[in-house]
Amino acid sequence: MQLHDASKNTKKNASATLQVDPQRCPQDHVCPAMGICPVGALTQVGFAAPQVDDEKCILCGKCVRLCPKGALALK
Ligand code: SF4
């Protein structure tokens, strides 16, 4: 029987991806979620909605919980 090696899975919810909804983001401020992301996966051009680097994102959900507009979601 093959046992799953959980130590190799750094993502908490590997079946999901972090998605940004530009319709929910007011796009009039520096995104505070960039400062809370532990791996620097969020970037922003001007005041536009943030962009996610899926290669870096570990799906921790910190940005999802921080954004008061619900513009970031794990789906
Ligand atoms: S889910 Fe976590 S790792 Fe991914 S962008 Fe948000 S704060 Fe960064």
Query: So where are the chain's domains?
Result: 15-75
Tokens of 3: 């046992």
Ligand 1, atom 6: closest residue by C-alpha: 63
Which class does domain 15-75 fall in?
alpha beta
Which of 48, 54, 53, 74 is CA-nearest to residue 63? 74
pLDDT at 10: 66
Ligand 1 center to residue 9 CA distance, Å? 15
Which of 36, 34, 21 is CA-nearest to residue 70? 21
Ligand 1 center to residue 5 CA distance, Å? 23
Q: For 6-63, what is each residue's pLDDT tens digit?
A: 444 467 667 899 999 999 999 999 999 999 999 999 999 999 999 999 999 999 999 9
